[in-house]
Structure 1
Amino acid sequence: MVTKRTPEKISNNASPWYANWGDLEKVFDDFRSDLERSFTSFPSIHVPQIVQTTQNSCDVIDEGNHYKVIMNMPGVEKKDIKLNVTDNSIEVSAEHKEESKEKKKNYLRKERNHVSYYRTLPFSEKIVSGKTNAKLTNGILEIHIPKLKPSKKQNKRSISIR
């Protein structure tokens, strides 16, 4: 015959412990909440965010004899952009660091802005890297990339939808 044991209190002078899992789980929950409460008394520490490279949005347009790339580059200046062109791709990267300068001592927070972009665009046709030109206007980078063998624009035909 199997007898069912009831939880027994284990005698210990330091703290009460019980022999079943439910009571043991409660002890650990209490310990965790006490530990969390003790950490709230420490001052908060601001950990700087790791710089993230974002993939900016862009449009690639086939103009027949050249490609036109329009890329959003907000917060970046012309001197911060690097443009590398190969026979069949372009690589655009930009990095801009900005610091707010305050003369006050004992400031509680000082923020810096760091913007970084990186994009590689492959092309199906060979391009002329030496004749590529780019212009930055109001945060929009426009790149004109001549094709090695220009293609004629395809004729478009409107199709009705049933």
Structure 2
Amino acid sequence: MKLTKWTPMRDLTSDFFNVRRDLDRFFDSFLRGDYGTDDPLFPAVWTPAADIIERDDTYLVKLELPGVKKNEVKITIENNILTVSGEKKQENELQDKEHYRFERTYGAFRRSFTLPSTVKGEKIEAVYEDGILTISLPKAEEAKPRAIEIKVK
């Protein structure tokens, strides 16, 4: 018999992440309408995951949008707020009686990010590839990090 070293923190963190996963599934199911409601007061919603990365000359915002068509994504900037919105439409062929579980999320989404005032709005670009939307937000010249040498007298 192989002995396994007991690490109490591993058991504690494992339990924590299991509870978190179960709660996430519960709330996702409730918002998605898995409980038999087609009520328009509870439309299907989902929030795409986002990564925000700062580089020397640009900010990158990456959003996971699997299954969303490129022409169904809208990107706007108003009052220094970047908004990405769209809709992931459900396939009509899901009326099949052989389906036992529906975990994929459908419906409208909207994410907004407050931009620093140092972003050049007219130079923003977006690329959508393999379900990942990458928005490049170039920094203005005055916002780029620079080294200033100071002479000591």
TM range (shorter): 0.5 to 0.7
Measure how far apart 1:87 and its partner are: 5.5
Gaps of 5+ in 2: 1-35, 148-153
CA distance in 2, matches of 1:74, 1:133: 20
Partner of 1:14: none
- For structure 1, which runs of at least 5 residues remain unmatched after alignment? 1-45, 155-162
Other-structure match for 2:24: none
Contact 1:87 1:129 in 2 (8 A): no
Give the alignment partner of residue 38 of structure 2, picking from 48, 51, 54. Answer: 48
Distance in 2 between residues matched to 1:97 and 1:124, nearest whole Å: 33
What is the match of residue 114 of structure 2? Answer: 122
Counterpart position of 1:60? 52
1:150 maps to a residue whose letter is A
**How far off its partner does 1:59 sit?**
0.9
Match of 1:150 in 2: 143
Aligned-partner Cα distance in 2 for 1:130–1:124 = 14
Q: Whose radius of gyration is greater, 1 or 2?
A: 1
Following superposition, the deviation at residue 140 of structure 1 comes to 0.8
CA RMSD, 1 decimal: 3.2
Higher helix share: 2
What is residue 71 of structure 1 aligned with on the other side?
63
Shift of 1:115: 2.7
Aligned residues: 107
How far apart in 2 are the matches of 1:134 and 1:123?
Answer: 15
Distance in structure 1 (CA, Å) of the matches to 2:114 and 2:91:
35
**Does 2:119 align with 1:94?**
no
1:150/1:114 CA distance change after superposition, 3 Å = same
Q: Percent identical across equivalent pairs?
A: 23
Q: 1:85 aligns with which of 62, 77, 80?
A: 77
**What TM-score comes out, normalization by structure 2 length?**
0.56
